[in-house]
Amino acid sequence: MSQLIECIPNFSEGRRTEVIEAIAETIKSVPNVILLDYSSDYSHNRSVFTFVGKPESVIEAAFLSAKKASELIDMNVHTGEHPRMGAVDVIPFVPIKYVTMDECINFSKQLGERLASELSIPVFLYEEAAVSAERINLANIRKGQFEGMKEKIKDADRRPDFGAQEVHPTAGVTAVGARMPLVAYNVNLNTADLNISKQIAKTIRESNGGLKYVKSIGVMLEDRNIAQVSINMTNYEVTPLYRVFELIKIEAQRYGVNVIGSEIIGLTPMNALIDSAKYYLQLEEFNEKKQVLENCLLSS
Amino acid sequence: MSQLIECIPNFSEGRRTEVIEAIAETIKSVPNVILLDYSSDYSHNRSVFTFVGKPESVIEAAFLSAKKASELIDMNVHTGEHPRMGAVDVIPFVPIKYVTMDECINFSKQLGERLASELSIPVFLYEEAAVSAERINLANIRKGQFEGMKEKIKDADRRPDFGAQEVHPTAGVTAVGARMPLVAYNVNLNTADLNISKQIAKTIRESNGGLKYVKSIGVMLEDRNIAQVSINMTNYEVTPLYRVFELIKIEAQRYGVNVIGSEIIGLTPMNALIDSAKYYLQLEEFNEKKQVLENCLLSS
């Protein structure tokens, strides 16, 4: 029953292969850490790494990869479409097994303290680890980006949670936090009318009064000439996939439109799907921890 | 990417705790084997063990547990409601990860050979490992049970696949084989009419022209006063849970009856449920091996 957490740091480098590989090698070199995935976006000039393992090993890998990035990335010459403020821009920790959110918040504080004291990178705690309401949302912390941060960090209300009010000259500043696993989920419609997907997205998302823990936008899939509702599910335990899917079906009916499929992008915890199977199959008293073979294997 | 198989031996002892515990200890003593579950039935006087691990370790645990059972169980004094022919009655191997059915058939032959040569227990290969059509079904092999087998084994068409035409004096004979994971799945109806559940069970099962790999009967849940369709799904990859569930819903309509829930008994592989989630959510191009976090962990 060993503890398992996930870490998904975002680095401000999506073009120089040698830098991206050096970060990957650093993560892989830490014993008991499994690098599940990493991908880079050229126009964003940004890379996302996903790794898991025991908390102490994952924290160590996060620290060493941030150190490597701070040595190889100079934010003064970084350009890209995605907003960013540091060589390692954000480092979220996610509880996976036998770990509470509170423990993950603690891990993010441990890492934040080390980044500040050993690498002189100022750290802001965000999402579940945020110490004030306005720091929950990363966008608030990142306002002004790397270039604007040099001045803004001197404001009383922009004081970092760890480190001096002084941006690292090349590595900038970093946000460290804790959050639930995020499921990237899209639902496809049999219409080429982008406006319909935008209307549905607006109806279902939390910010407009829809379902809690749902962020959504309407987008066009140009190659298929269909509109899509693109969703970030930020807490699939409270708001499960099937509820979003069924609600989109119902809202689509208003326009005489049907759902023709859905897709999950990247990784998802098993339970995000088991939950939906339980709903549709009307399963009574199913205990996924004890009755799913793979869970028994992972916990043994 | 290490290979993983499951073994579910059935022993002819469900009453004497010390014998059941001795078998459990034997299995647990084998390195790299995980005993997931074991349960005993008093009236059947029979116990079922479920363990998993690398093939060589699982085969070793199966052999040692059979040896232990042959030392502690005397079939001449065994009584119980369940048909049986040996101290260890049946030993099926099930492919779980990175193992083919053909490999599991081979494992069952390796074990059969050892049971015969080292313990003098005659072995019949059954299910996927059967070498003739009439030996696929365990019931055919077990005809006459322990008591009748002493004479019947001398018939030309009852010659065991391994060992002499001579029943072990106390341990009897054993069936060893390979099969797909079995999912025990029940669907509950909002009626107290047992006959309706029997009619539905008859319609959906393979033996009466229904769905392939479905065995089903109608039973009464006395404590809830409702009828249930009780199902063994012998290949959930070909015949998935959702198809059985939806077909039962449709058949129930004929009687003005509704499905009020379903249940999975014991262990199930994750994919039996992921498959149903994929169907209901109309998931496009989802790769459970690469996109389910737990699968990535198990294969790393």
| Domain residue spans of chain A | 4-178, 183-299
Helix (H, G, I), strand (E, B) or coil at B168: strand
Residue A246's closest chain B neighbor by CA? B281
Cα dist. A158→A118, A134, A164, A167 in Å? 21, 10, 11, 12
Query: What would the mean pLDDT of B249-257 be, rounded to a whole number?
Result: 98
What are the DSSP E strand ranges found in chain B?
Answer: 4-7, 10-11, 33-41, 46-53, 88-97, 123-127, 174-178, 183-189, 214-221, 226-233, 259-265
pLDDT of residue B54: 94
What CA–CA distance (Å, rounded) separates A19 from B279? 41
What digits encode the pLDDT tens for the residues A241-291?
999 999 999 999 999 999 999 999 888 999 999 999 999 999 999 999 889
At the topology level of CATH, where does B183-299 sit?
Alpha-Beta Plaits (3.30.70)
* Amino acid sitting at position A175: A
H or E segment to which residue B149 belongs = helix B145-152
Decide if A267 touches B, using CB distance below 8 A. Answer: yes
What digits encode the pLDDT tens for the residues A82-127?
899 999 999 999 999 889 999 999 999 999 999 999 999 999 999 9
* Superfamily in which the B4-178 domain is placed by CATH: Formiminotransferase, N-terminal subdomain (3.30.990.10)
Nearest-CA neighbor of B182 among B134, B215, B206, B205? B215
Decide if B270 touches A, using CB distance below 8 A. Answer: yes
pLDDT of residue B97: 86
Q: Per the structure block, which two tokens stand in for B174?
A: 């054993």
Q: Is the ipTM of this complex over 0.90?
A: no
Query: What would the mean pLDDT of A28-53 be, rounded to a whole number?
Result: 93
What CA–CA distance (Å, rounded) separates B134 from B126? 9
Cα dist. B272→A166, A274, A287, B38 in Å? 54, 10, 14, 22
Query: What would the mean pLDDT of B267-271 be, rounded to a whole number?
Result: 93
Which of B28, B242, B248, B270 should be substituted to probe chain A, the one whose Cβ sees the most A Cβ atoms within 10 Å?
B270
Residue A283's closest chain B neighbor by CA? B262
**Residues of B recognised as catalytic:** 82
Q: Which residues in chain B have their CB less than 8 angstroms from residue A296's CB? A: 34, 36, 267
